[in-house]
Amino acid sequence: MNIEARIVSKVQKALLELYDTDMASEKIQVQRTRKDFTGDFTVVVFPFLGFTKRPPEQTGEEIGQFLKEKVDEISDFNVIKGFLNLIIGNDFWLRFLNSMHQRGHIYDFALESGQGKIVVEYSSPNTNKPLHLGHIRNNLLGFSISRILEATGHEVKKVNLVNDRGIHICKSMLAWQKWGQGETPESKGVKGDHLVGDYYVLFDQEYKRQVAELTEKGYTREEAEKEAPLMKEARQMLHRWEQDDAQTVELWKKMNGWVLEGFEQTYQALGIDFDRVYYESQVYKLGKEQVQKGLEAGAFFTGKDGSVWADMADEALDQKLLLRSDGTSVYITQDIGTAIQRYQEFDFDQHIYVVGNEQKYHFQVLKILLGKLGYEWAENLHHLAYGMVELPEGKMKSREGTVVDADDLIDEMLQTAETMTRESGKVGDFSDAEKNRIYHSIGLGALKYFILKVDPKKNMTFDPKESVDFNGNTGPFIQYSYARINSLIQKAGERNISVPEQVKASTPINDKEIQLIKLIHQFPSFIQDAASEMNPAVIANFVYELAREFNQFYHEYSVLSAEDEQLVQLRMVLSIQVSRVIREAMWLLGIDLPERM
């Protein structure tokens, strides 16, 4: 049990003994004492006044007195207005630090194993164009939240559902067939996903031209869009694909292969991976059967033209199409099928879908439909709906060419990292391989941190200028803090300063040191919060605060040349523990740390 929980239970006891009142522990507020007051934890006494029948100051005094006598860790207290500030004795913090020092992972004690199995679906790209900034947010969130859930004792399965079929892929295929002249990623020297994306753009340009031509001839816009020869051809191609036409399938396999290879490179650069990859081409039919079953069971109904619908009037929603009149399935039908498949495969306790917030309605409906089919686990599906990434000049629009390409962005980050590092002149003696590793850590660290530090559900503005800034609340700031501690530890070794197994109980600790130990102490509860809110930003903000706090300490006090031996040992142990927490917090975010920078 952590110290806060202990205080709550002791306050509860105090209320019972002093005022004969049994108060629920959730109603007792214990919080960190604000920096401008003395104390470590604060009990808010206002809620107790109803039954203590005493003014706030007196109530605080009485409870404070009780706690000081009955709780060893509490060495003193003070009362200001209705706030009872408790002071925890140094020996408690020292004991805590020592216990930390002997542990493996720090987040171990956030970890209660056997918390259940969770499937996290993320990334889910279409195979007709390369990844962009929006996908990066998705990938980073999915990957980080998976690690956070693992740290809280869940068994996590990371899955990707690649949308490798449909009309959009046919568009690229058609354009390549018409104008590609056998071009390949190798022959052209570009990544496969970019090559295919280029043909998608080509299709769109030509298609627009045809539509314009037709509207000039007197077609309405809608007619023109439908009748444009290119679109007709694309639809025919999709039809052929669905008929398993050998030539079409071969072309599809070839171009999908190019794209997937390109994606793989991007994933690798981002440092993310999956336990299982699904392809829509293989699972898109799964839902039909389920819908048929539901139809037979009376959960759904048939329209006049043979299409199948669900009525969601009970949920105050409209009707939803599940199968088209020609019997083919729509998007939601597929998701019904894959959800059931995954439940059978993994027997999950929860399933998280990391998908943009524009699909909120979709997932709301998905849960309802699975409920109608009688699956109680439908309520264990969660949609982690993240906001869109906007640019300072507004939304990213592929049509206007304002999308930020993932690979370009990564390159730019690496370039900047290299330039900045060169200018600092700190890695002169490194091998090229080492230097590249460092540029990669820093460049990607900056990008990842920039994106993960904001609350997922909010839309965020991505300012390229700001993202490339390595000062302030950034990934490199934290990496730098870490590298400095690391160097400290190296130096200690060179100077034959040994790190003790235990810090001596009598060692005096100053406020800054206590502040740092307190932060470390809170790490597990931040992990819990991040997990329950599905929000990596909680971790990001925490580790930033820790790094900032440490930098202040580092600036103000000397570790290796502290006044006496005991202090050197305390500060060494403290520094090591801080670096461990930074490392583990950054690991939860999926951000690498260079040992030197």
Query: Which range of residues in 109-117, 210-218, 316-324, 337-345 is near RNA by CB under 7 A?
Result: 316-324
The residue (of 217 and 555) whose beta carbon lies closer to RNA is: 555
Contact 489, 552 (CB under 8 A): no
Contact 125, 161 (CB under 8 A): no
The residue (of 190 and 333) whose beta carbon lies closer to RNA is: 333
Exactly one of 95, 560, 566, 587 binds RNA (CB under 7 A); which one? 560
- Under the criterion CB under 7 A, does residue 31 sit at the interface with RNA? yes
270-289 residues near RNA, rule: CB under 7 A: 280
Query: Which range of residues in 177-185, 216-224, 291-299, 551-559 is near RNA by CB under 7 A?
Result: 551-559
Q: Which one, of 293, 325, 302, 315, lies nearest residue 366 by Cα?
A: 315
Exactly one of 17, 25, 46, 275 binds RNA (CB under 7 A); which one? 46
Q: How far is residue 430 from each of residues 193, 427, 433, 436, measured CA to CA in Å? A: 34, 5, 8, 10
Query: Which range of residues in 133-141, 268-276, 346-354, 555-563 is near RNA by CB under 7 A?
Result: 555-563
The residue (of 406 and 530) whose beta carbon lies closer to RNA is: 530
Contact 287, 297 (CB under 8 A): no
Query: Which range of residues in 100-108, 149-157, 223-231, 352-360 is near RNA by CB under 7 A?
Result: 352-360
What sign does the dihedral 223-228-229-231 (CA atoms) show?
negative
The residue (of 340 and 442) whose beta carbon lies closer to RNA is: 442
> Which residues, listed in sequence order, are joined to residue 309 by a DSSP beta bridge?
301, 321
The residue (of 22 and 305) whose beta carbon lies closer to RNA is: 305
88-147 residues near RNA, rule: CB under 7 A: 126
The residue (of 184 and 364) whose beta carbon lies closer to RNA is: 364
Q: 192-216 and 246-270 are packed helices; what angle lies between their axes, rounded to 10 degrees? A: 120
Exactly one of 101, 204, 463, 464 binds RNA (CB under 7 A); which one? 463
Contact 583, 445 (CB under 8 A): no
The residue (of 82 and 590) whose beta carbon lies closer to RNA is: 82
User: What is d(CA 74, CA 77) in angstroms, rounded to the nearest whole number?
Assistant: 8
The residue (of 70 and 360) whose beta carbon lies closer to RNA is: 360
The residue (of 60 and 185) whose beta carbon lies closer to RNA is: 60
Exactly one of 16, 34, 209, 254 binds RNA (CB under 7 A); which one? 34
Q: How far is residue 487 from each of residues 430, 448, 493, 579, 586, measured CA to CA in Å? A: 15, 24, 10, 11, 18
Taking the complex as a whole, the smallest distance from the CB of residue 306 to RNA amounts, in Å, to: 8
Exactly one of 22, 216, 305, 376 binds RNA (CB under 7 A); which one? 305
Contact 438, 594 (CB under 8 A): yes
Q: Which one, of 82, 18, 70, 74, lies nearest residue 46 by Cα?
A: 82
Going by the DSSP 8-state scheme, the letter that residue 33 receives in this structure is P
Exactly one of 340, 538, 573, 576 binds RNA (CB under 7 A); which one? 538
Query: Which range of residues in 94-102, 210-218, 259-267, 452-460 is near RNA by CB under 7 A?
Result: 452-460
Q: Give the CA angle between residues 9, 10, 12 to the nearest 5°.
A: 65
148-207 residues near RNA, rule: CB under 7 A: 163, 166-167
CA 243 to the chain's CA centroid:
40
User: What is d(CA 37, CA 87) in angstroms, rounded to the nearest whole number?
Assistant: 11
For residue 250, what are its two tokens? 């071969």
Exactly one of 187, 282, 487, 510 binds RNA (CB under 7 A); which one? 487
Question: Which residues fall within 8 angstroms of residue 555, CB to CB, at 6 or more apart?
Answer: none
For residue 155, what are its two tokens? 């068994």
Exactly one of 18, 23, 44, 391 binds RNA (CB under 7 A); which one? 44
The residue (of 187 and 319) whose beta carbon lies closer to RNA is: 319
238-244 own/partner pairs: CB under 8 Å, 24+ apart: 238/166, 238/167, 238/170, 241/165, 241/170
Taking the complex as a whole, the smallest distance from the CB of residue 362 to RNA amounts, in Å, to: 5
- Under the criterion CB under 7 A, does residue 362 sit at the interface with RNA? yes
Query: Which range of residues in 44-52, 108-116, 151-159, 290-298 is near RNA by CB under 7 A?
Result: 44-52
Exactly one of 358, 379, 393, 564 binds RNA (CB under 7 A); which one? 358
Q: How far is residue 236 from each of residues 11, 171, 241, 248, measured CA to CA in Å? A: 73, 11, 9, 10
Query: Which range of residues in 129-137, 203-211, 286-294, 302-310 is near RNA by CB under 7 A?
Result: 302-310
User: What is d(CA 546, CA 433) in angstroms, rounded to the nearest whole number?
Assistant: 30
- Under the criterion CB under 7 A, does residue 551 sit at the interface with RNA? yes
- Under the criterion CB under 7 A, does residue 293 sit at the interface with RNA? no
Contact 121, 351 (CB under 8 A): yes
Exactly one of 59, 85, 210, 350 binds RNA (CB under 7 A); which one? 85
Exactly one of 3, 42, 300, 520 binds RNA (CB under 7 A); which one? 42
Taking the complex as a whole, the smallest distance from the CB of residue 31 to RNA amounts, in Å, to: 5
Cβ neighbours of 477 (radius 10 Å): 20
Contact 331, 360 (CB under 8 A): no
Contact 259, 131 (CB under 8 A): no
375-434 residues near RNA, rule: CB under 7 A: 387-388, 395, 417, 420-421, 424, 426-427
Taking the complex as a whole, the smallest distance from the CB of residue 479 to RNA amounts, in Å, to: 8
Taking the complex as a whole, the smallest distance from the CB of residue 186 to RNA amounts, in Å, to: 29
- List the x/- string, 466-485, binding to RNA by CB under 7 A: x--xxxxxx-xx--x--xx-
